[in-house]
Structure formats: C-alpha cells, structure tokens
Structure 1
Amino acid sequence: MSLISYFKSLSDETRLRMLNLLMHHELNVNEIVMAMGMGQSRISRHLKILTDSGLLTSRRDGLWVFYRAAENGKGRAFIDALGYLLKTDEELTADLAALRNMIQERSFEKTSFFNAIAPDWDDIKSEILGDMDVVSILGTMVKKGDVAADLGCGTGDLLLALHEQGARVMGIDKSPMMLDITRKRFAEKGIDADLRIGELEHLPMRDGEADLAVINMVLHYLPSPRRVIAETARVLNMGSKLVIIDLEKHDNEEMRRKYEHRWLGFNRDEMTRWLDEAGFVTDEVTQYKAKQGMTVNIFVAKKGR
C-alpha cells in the first residue's frame, strides 16, 4: 500500500527535511550534502529510501545525479496534501532560507565566472559552434520594427546582427561585464542599446513586451531551464516565436569542468515537453553538427496559448 510506504519514508526527520528542500529545488548529491550538513553516505541512504517510496525522482546527467520531488502520480498527490503543514513548520522554513542563501552564493559565483570570461566569450562559443550562423537560422522570423529579445545576450554579437536586420533589440544578461562589452560594441557603431541586467528566471520585462525571443547556448548553464521557458512565454506576444539553440544530450564531462555547464545538453523530447507545458507549439527542430563531436539542436516554437 503506497500510503503506508510514504508515511514510513517520512518517519525520519532528515528525510522530511530533505523532501521539503527537493519540493522547491532540483539538487545534486553534493548540493544536498552541503544544504543538510551531513556526510554523503548518510545522504545517499536517505535519498534511496525516498526514491524507492516514490516521493522522489532522479535524473542522471553524465557523472552527476539530480533529485527532485515527484511531479506527478500518487507521490505528487501525497506531497501536495502535505504542502500546507510543511509551509507552516519553522524548522523547515529555516532550511529553505538557508538553501536559498546557498543558491544565491552559487549564483554570485556563476556571475563572477561569466564576468571573468567575458573578454573571451566569443572565442569560447566558437570552440563549440565553429562558424554556425545563427542569424541565417532566424531568417524571415526577424521582422523590421519587431522587438527581438536576446535572453542571455553575452557580448552582443547576435543582438547586433538582429539590429542590422531591422529589429528593435533588447539584451538581457546577469553579467555586468558581458553587458559592458555589448554596450561598447553598440556605441562604436553609434547605436543605443536596450540592455537590462537580470536573471532569466525572473526577466526584467513586461508581459508581452517582445515579438521574438532567442535563447542561444544559455540553458545548459541554468538550474531550471524549464522555469526559464515558462518565464519567456510571459514576455512574448501571442503568436510570437521563441528560438532555443542548445546542445543535444551528451556525456562529455569536460564541458562541465571547463565551461561550468550544469546540464550536459538536452534531448529533443525533453525540450519539446517543456515548451508544450509553457504554452508553446513546436514548429520545427533542426540539428547542426558542431565541433568537439557535439550536436546542436535548434527549436523553433510559437506561443500558442
């Protein structure tokens, strides 16, 4: 009987605390160890019990395993029923606050990483993409006068190309150094740039502000690409296009060690499902053979609801 299994798995305080954290964030084992302040073997044992009960799910990404609370089925229904009680517990609330602080520190570290590599960003991208022409991929999707938003615009090369095609461009990035380089790039050509600093999970944009959004080789750095896609739907007009360019699923751990990738790419079904959940209709998916044995997927989707 699954109900008894659920209650048994939560009879330990550590597992209850762990489930509470994983209801709000997907975390790998090392992150859970840091958040809980316990040894890895102990954490792994509790994770196995919760996973076997059906209250947690896991996904393997290269050498890393990530855990989160069950998102559907009986396990999700049970978790939802507990939701109010968990929200009102002071100790569990304190755990979440501590985890948010840890995640914020990681976010600052990631911003520092991007600030440091900003001068070399174009070269780093070309190490994987080679001579891939993103602007030609966008083709007729760029209409004169439309607002085109480059989400995670980096040093602004794509943003400038979109401007040259007649779009009113907007660049969003969390790295001040990246935006400084973009601003100088535009200033050299006498162009004013609408550049905004911010997180892609919480875009500094109004509802329906853009007619086209591009997320180019960015999602694999982020903890929750799914959340970013849902947020992008908010800032697009109905019928507007979203173009996502990112790596196909792979197992090259060097991308994680050298470039700080959190995700080792995405499979097509996974990305298409996230798009559908956010209200997009996927029009087409094409592939491009990149460098280092990588494959790049290009998703073109339309906001349909």
Structure 2
Amino acid sequence: MVKPGFSLNKLVDILKASAEPTRMRLLVLLSSGDLTVSDLTEILSQSQPRISRHLKLLSEAGLIERYQEGAWAWFRLRREGEAAGLARKLVEEASHADAVITRDQGRLAQVRAARAEKAMAYFSRNAVGWDNIRKLHISEEKVETALRDMVGDQPVDSLLDLGTGTGRLLQLFEGIYRHGMGIDASREMLAVARANLEKSGISKASIRQGDIFNLPLENGGYDLVTIHQVLHYLEDPHLAISEAARMVRPGGRLVIVDFAPHGIDSLRGEHLHARLGFSHQMMADWLEQAGLEVVKTRDLEPESGAEALTVTIWLARDRRIEMADEQPAPKIASRRV
C-alpha cells in the first residue's frame, strides 16, 4: 500500500512558507492559542503589514487558519486538513530553549497578563452590580428557568461553579447538591458571593479563589460543573473547558452558558469581551477534544433591541461511564459450602 502524503510540489510550497524566521516564530506562537494581528505585531515588534503578509503566506500553505469576530481577525494553528499534522510537527521540532522563541513566549505572557489585569479591574469595579450587568441583553430569569429544565432535579453529590461571580448558580441549584464549590479569580467577586450565600443561609457551599486555567482541585471530583457567562471574557476558552472537564467525574456533566455568535464589537471596549460568542460547532469540537459529548443544546432568543443577544446553553456529559458499562461484568466465582 502506498503511504499517503504530499505531492512534491505541495510539500515544497509548505516548506517554503515555513522556511523563514518570522513565519516560524508565528507558527510557534499560534500553537499556544488564538491571537490577533495586533497581538502578533506587539510580540514580534514588527509592522502590521509585514505580519499580515507572513500570515497570508502561512494561511495559503494550509498551516494556519483565520476567523473573524466582529472587527477583529483571529489566527490559530490549523487543526484539520492535510497540512495540520505537518504544522504541529514543525512546531514540535523547534527548540523552546532557543533565545528568540523564549523571548517571544515571554512577550506573549506579558500581552495575556495585561489583558487579564484589565479584565480583573473591570470585574472589581462592577462586582456589586454584576447581576444587573448580565441582564443587559437577556432576562436572567429566562436563562435560569432553561438551566433548571436542562439540569433537572435529580440530586447530585457535588457541584462546581467556575467563574462563580456573585455565587448565583450556587443559590439556583442549592436544592440538588450536597456539597457546592464556587471558584473565582476576583477577591471582590468572592466577597459578594460569600455575602450572598450567607444572606441565603446556604452553608453547604464554599467559595475559593482560583485560576480557571489551573484549578486548585483534585481531578474528577464533581458530578456537575457549570460555567455561566465566563468564556467570552477569555482569550483561550478551550483551555478553560479542558480544565473544567478534568473536574468532571465519569458520567458527570458540564453545563456552559454563553452567547451565540454576534457582531456587537462595542462589547470589547465597553465590557472587555474577548470573544463575540460561540457557535454550536466550535463548542462541540472543544468539548469533544476535552473528552465530553454534547447531549443537549438550547438557544434562548433575545428580547427586542438593537443590541440584543442570543444566549446558548450546552449540556455535555463525560463518556467514561458509558464505556465502563459496555464492558462485560466480571464473573463472581461460586462458593461451595
């Protein structure tokens, strides 16, 4: 059997596209997550036209892909297609101990840290009125009713709410969990959440400061994990989903609430949205990569208004319990008396 591969001309085109220092640096950077042209110009200290030209050549060779969110164009290493595997291989062969690559990674960390600091300042300013801010585009009561319907009323042992904010979901599902945990990076948000839980008389839920990308918790400890209106603030939401999936027990569930794709670019500046919504396909792909399977989705249409948004709820389940159920039960040896 002939081994599948590239034609000679195609292979030469791919190698030509990547065989340039700046383009190789771009491939390594984009392997770390999705970035904009502005991010890349800041990291590499090169002009926007120059960076755009390099990105165009890499895209034409099938090594990277571009997608649009409002006025912003994002780039990432291609995940599918005949050149995707070769793109990953090229990145793997680049030494991350190289001085140039090390410097690029340091600048990338600075860009992300600056954005995170800006977002944290926003959360701190708006912690007390956060629930009112979330009502700007769709009725929170409508979302909560749909959430209750999708999750159901079957009791669970443990619930984890990531980016808990004011602790609202710990209050909403108080009747079905035995132990609850809310995680948030903002001390101001945690103070509000603790006050809300105390006011509601909920003592079976606790609040803890933590990073959604590096949770200070044991693997697989929760029957139900929730992420409510958090992902659109993150530069790398798929990494947060992977970390959330790590928390889900075999057979457990992950519920995500966020916006459907939209074009209201002003939300970036006014409310620091990093992403303008998520499509069903994008979310399904990320969940599958994290080892989860989407079992139900629901789109909640917005109220009337010029800047009304659709909210989507995704319910996913860990498949490991299903795989275990398919295995034949072990035979129990008979015991003679």
Residue 7 of structure 1 is matched in structure 2 by: 15
Question: What does residue range 49-128 of structure 1 map to in structure 2 within 5 Å?
Answer: 49-82=57-90, 83-128=92-137
Q: Which runs of 4+ in 1 moved over 6 A?
A: none
Question: What does residue range 204-283 of structure 1 map to in structure 2 within 5 Å?
Answer: 204-283=216-295
CA offset digits 1:121-140 (Å, max 9, x no partner)? 11101112223242562345
Q: Measure, in 1, the Cα distance between the counterparts of 2:28 and 2:284.
A: 28
The alpha carbon displacement at 1:190 in A equals 4.5
Residue 40 of structure 2 is matched in structure 1 by: 32
Q: Measure, in 1, the Cα distance between the counterparts of 2:124 and 2:190.
A: 10
The alpha carbon displacement at 1:143 in A equals 4.2
Residue 219 and residue 127 in structure 1: after superposition, are their counterparts in 2 closer, same or farther (change >3 A)? same
Residue 56 of structure 2 is matched in structure 1 by: 48
Counterpart of 2:82 in 1: which secondary structure? helix
Q: Measure, in 2, the Cα distance between the counterparts of 1:171 and 1:33.
A: 37
TM-score normalised according to structure 1 size: 0.93
Residue among 169, 184, 188 paired with 1:158: 169
1:134 aligns to 2:149 (yes or no):
no
Counterpart of 1:202 in 2: which secondary structure? coil
Residue among 169, 173, 197 paired with 2:180: 169
The alpha carbon displacement at 1:7 in A equals 2.2
CA offset digits 1:248-282 (Å, max 9, x no partner)? 11111122222111111111122122222222222
Which structure shows the bigger proportion of residues in helix conformation?
1
The alpha carbon displacement at 1:75 in A equals 2.3
Residue 178 and residue 142 in structure 1: after superposition, are their counterparts in 2 closer, same or farther (change >3 A)? farther
1:178 aligns to 2:189 (yes or no):
yes
Counterpart of 2:136 in 1: which secondary structure? helix
Q: Measure, in 2, the Cα distance between the counterparts of 1:76 and 1:297.
A: 30
The alpha carbon displacement at 1:215 in A equals 1.0
The alpha carbon displacement at 1:294 in A equals 1.6
Q: Measure, in 2, the Cα distance between the counterparts of 1:166 and 1:226.
A: 26
Q: Measure, in 1, the Cα distance between the counterparts of 2:156 and 2:59.
A: 51
RMSD, aligned α-carbons: 1.9
The alpha carbon displacement at 1:105 in A equals 2.5
The alpha carbon displacement at 1:222 in A equals 1.0
Structure 1 contact 253–264 (Cα < 8 Å) conserved: yes
Residue 109 and residue 142 in structure 1: after superposition, are their counterparts in 2 closer, same or farther (change >3 A)? farther
Question: In structure 2, what residue type is equivalent to 1:258?
Answer: E
Structure 1 contact 211–236 (Cα < 8 Å) conserved: yes
1:297 aligns to 2:305 (yes or no):
no
The alpha carbon displacement at 1:104 in A equals 1.8
Q: Which moved more, 1:161-170 or 1:66-75?
A: 161-170
Residue among 186, 191, 203 paired with 2:215: 203
The alpha carbon displacement at 1:224 in A equals 1.7
Q: Which runs of 5+ in 2 are unaligned?
A: 1-8, 321-337
Q: Which runs of 5+ in 1 are unaligned?
A: none
Q: Measure, in 1, the Cα distance between the counterparts of 2:173 and 2:234.
A: 24
Q: Measure, in 2, the Cα distance between the counterparts of 1:115 and 1:102.
A: 20
Counterpart of 1:298 in 2: which secondary structure? strand
Aligned-pair identity in percent equals 31
TM-score normalised according to structure 2 size: 0.84
Structure 1 contact 248–297 (Cα < 8 Å) conserved: yes
Counterpart of 2:128 in 1: which secondary structure? helix
Residue 187 of structure 1 is matched in structure 2 by: 198
